């Protein structure tokens, strides 16, 4: 970028940014002559993507700050005013514990309310699933949750929702982006107190919290287990300094479960000082919870991410050590427990549906289909699961008519066990996991033994993820070049095993490598994802992340059913290590 253009962008930003700390950052960098850093902050506008905003907090048009939030929200508001679909023209906003989340949420609320959109704002931090529930409960046209989910502490962002309680999907996502890009001048918003007096800004809390808690309890399948045996279940829990503490503690506690929360991580803290990465997928993030679990001899260790949509667990093994359960494994356990229980209770719908993402283990498909359910694959991102639930309910697609959603999830530790929320919900999942643990105890077994039972029945599966980061503007090009190279010259073998089929979700085409025949049979929306299906049944998926500057490779290796763990483990080890070596070669 030319220096003169950069200086113009800096001056325009400083004119409109209202928060002094962000202005001072930019002024200090300019005074020091830190032009490379300033170029990174101003070479583009922080993109309002198909899910909303996400970026590093700081001053600049390519950073997360109040100016960027206000501009994006004005575009969202303009779209809502045009497309409220006859509903009350209203919005709901929630926020988590990240730095400036409360500030950004209030700024977004003031913009929408000033535009004449009645805006409900939570008085304090709430989980993402509570926002989704509130949109549906209040029959709002849109919703916003200010969060960067599980990203490192320097990030913040927000996710935008439509009136079904799910994140925005086509055509609304593109329409909102168009309105955001059209914003040339950010309006001056009215003071919060004036908006409250006019009834345009309404503060909420208990009127949503109480029905949400009732909904979570109503989703239980064997409520008598928790009523009678909940007091015998010892849970150690960490909210990782986030929004999950109040609902998880209060709901499980009201069911009689003894919950001990990791004291160092119990209070909200956007700096996440006890972890390097506030993500229950990471073993390091669960370290304190595992230590406390071992000390207390807990039956179950639970962790939720800052906005409490993701959940991870650990359970004791036969030696008294604690084993972390992966996202794919927990999804398989929940799927089998829910389908098995509803089959036993006789309340499985006539056409049950299970939904997972394309990078989630095929073990879950096998489990669902073993109970007579149809299994559907959607693109990565929970909004696609929400959209499919909406399609089941509307009956607008003849191929989907009559199906009822039972459960579903994604490999990245996100699950949905009810249709009252349309995003992944760690709170309701925590209650379902507690119930499942008690049920297995009543059968004289454990979660680990149950998991091994599933593997023996359906085949052993193991999944690993390989990620590589690409920083800055140059990194975007490097990721694009790598995906293009994989399309133009795809590998013929991976780990020494023939690649049998290649699915390209960008073009919706499946390639049979033996015959060279291409079939346009993928029904998902276009997405920059490649899948390589090997002769062994193993799947390698390649996908640039939509929320971080990195590319992700997902390996899912499997064996035939009937093997013991001792027989399966070396087979899986060899195959995965060989594939990982080939994937590392992609980066050279």
pLDDT, tens digit, for every residue of 342-358? Answer: 999 999 999 999 999 99
| Total-model pTM | 0.94
pLDDT of residue 545: 76
| 3-209 topology per CATH | Alpha-D-Glucose-1,6-Bisphosphate; Chain A, domain 3 (3.40.120)
Instruction: Please indicate whether residue 149 is annotated as part of the active site.
Output: yes
pLDDT of residue 396: 86
pLDDT of residue 443: 96
pLDDT of residue 143: 98
Q: What are the tokens at 499?
A: 């690649």
Q: What is the dihedral of CA 173, 525, 534, 578, to 10 degrees?
A: -20
For CATH 3.40.120.10, the residue range(s) in the chain are 3-209, 328-424
DSSP state of 89: -
> What is the dotted CATH code of the domain comprising 461-586?
3.30.310
pLDDT of residue 401: 92
Do the beta carbons of residue 169 and residue 384 sit within 8 Å? yes
pLDDT of residue 549: 72
Handedness of CA 423, 156, 287, 574 (dihedral sign): positive
Helix H, strand E, coil C: the string for 8-66 is: HHHHHHHHHCCCHHHHHHHHHHHHHCCHHHHHHHHCCCCCCCCCEEEEEECCCCCCECH
pLDDT of residue 84: 82
Pick out the chain residues at pLDDT < 50. Answer: none
Query: How many other C-beta atoms are found inside a 10 Å radius of the C-beta of residue 286?
Result: 25
Using CA atoms, how far apart are residues 355 and 495, in angstroms rounded to an integer?
29
> What is the dotted CATH code of the domain comprising 328-424?
3.40.120.10
pLDDT of residue 15: 92
Measured distance between the N- and C-terminal CA atoms of the chain, rounded to whole angstroms: 29
For CATH 3.30.310, the residue range(s) in the chain are 461-586
- The side-by-side arrangement of strands in the sheet containing 201-204 is 52-56, 155-162, 142-146, 90-95, 118-122, 201-204
Strands (E), 300-431: 300-304, 311-316, 322-325, 352-357, 374-378, 404-410, 414-416
Q: What are the tokens at 95?
A: 């926020």
Please tell me which residue in 101, 132, 149, 527 is annotated as part of the active site. 149
* Residue in this structure with the two tokens 């994937």, named with its chain if needed: 583
């Amino acid at each position: 970028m030319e220096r003169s253009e950069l200086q113009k962008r800096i001056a325009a930003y400083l004119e409109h940014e209202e928060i002094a700390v962000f202005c001072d950052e930019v002024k200090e960098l300019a005074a020091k002559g830190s032009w490379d850093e300033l170029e990174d902050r101003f070479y583009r506008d922080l993109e309002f993507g198909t899910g909303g905003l996400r970026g590093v907090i700081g001053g600049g048009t390519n950073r997360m700050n109040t100016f960027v939030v206000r501009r994006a929200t004005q575009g969202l508001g303009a779209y809502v005013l045009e497309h409220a679909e006859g509903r009350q023209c209203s919005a709901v906003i929630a926020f988590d514990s990240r730095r400036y989340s409360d500030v950004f949420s209030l700024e977004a609320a003031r913009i929408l309310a000033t535009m004449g959109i009645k805006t409900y704002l939570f008085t304090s931090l709430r989980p993402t699933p509570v926002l989704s529930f509130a949109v549906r409960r209040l029959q709002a046209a849109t919703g916003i949750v200010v969060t960067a989910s599980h990203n490192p502490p320097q990030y913040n962002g927000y996710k935008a929702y439509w009136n079904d309680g799910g994140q925005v999907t086509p055509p609304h996502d593109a329409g909102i982006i168009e309105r955001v890009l059209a914003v040339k001048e950010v309006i001056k918003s009215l003071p919060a107190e004036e908006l409250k007096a006019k009834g345009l800004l309404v503060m909420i809390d208990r009127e949503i919290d109480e029905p949400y808690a009732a909904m979570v309890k109503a989703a239980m399948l064997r409520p008598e287990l928790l009523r009678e045996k909940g007091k015998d279940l010892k849970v150690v829990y960490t909210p990782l300094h986030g929004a999950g503490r109040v609902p998880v503690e209060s709901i499980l506690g009201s069911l009689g479960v003894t919950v001990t929360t990791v004291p160092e991580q119990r209070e909200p803290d956007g700096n996440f000082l006890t972890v390097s990465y506030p993500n229950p997928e990471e073993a390091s993030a669960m370290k304190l919870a595992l230590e406390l679990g071992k000390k207390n001899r807990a039956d179950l260790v639970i962790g939720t991410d800052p906005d409490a949509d993701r959940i991870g667990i650990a359970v004791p093994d036969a030696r008294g050590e604690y084993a972390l359960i992966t996202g794919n494994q927990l999804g398989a356990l929940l799927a089998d427990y829910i389908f098995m229980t509803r089959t036993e209770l006789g309340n499985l719908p006539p056409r049950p549906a299970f939904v997972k993402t394309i990078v989630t283990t095929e073990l879950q498909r096998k489990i669902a289909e073993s109970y007579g359910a149809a299994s559907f694959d959607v693109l990565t991102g929970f909004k696609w699961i929400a959209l499919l639930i909406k399609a089941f309910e509307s009956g607008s697609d003849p191929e989907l008519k009559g199906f009822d959603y039972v459960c579903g999830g994604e490999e990245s530790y996100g699950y949905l066990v009810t249709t009252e929320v349309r995003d992944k919900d760690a709170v309701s999942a925590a209650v379902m996991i507690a119930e499942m643990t008690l049920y297995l105890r009543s059968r004289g077994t454990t979660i680990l033994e149950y998991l091994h039972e599933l593997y023996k029945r359906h085949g052993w599966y193991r999944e690993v993820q390989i990620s590589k980061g690409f920083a800055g503007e140059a990194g975007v090009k490097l990721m694009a070049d790598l995906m293009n190279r994989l399309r133009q010259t795809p590998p013929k073998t991976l780990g020494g095993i023939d690649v049998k089929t290649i699915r390209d979700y960008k073009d919706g085409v499946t390639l049979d490598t033996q015959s060279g025949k291409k079939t346009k049979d993928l029904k998902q929306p276009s997405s920059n994802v490649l899948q390589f299906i090997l002769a062994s049944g193993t799947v390698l998926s390649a996908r640039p992340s939509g929320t971080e500057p990195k590319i992700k490779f997902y390996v899912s290796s499997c064996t035939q059913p009937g093997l013991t763990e001792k027989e399966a483990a070396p087979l899986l080890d060899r195959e995965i290590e060989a594939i990982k070596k080939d994937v590392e070669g992609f980066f050279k």
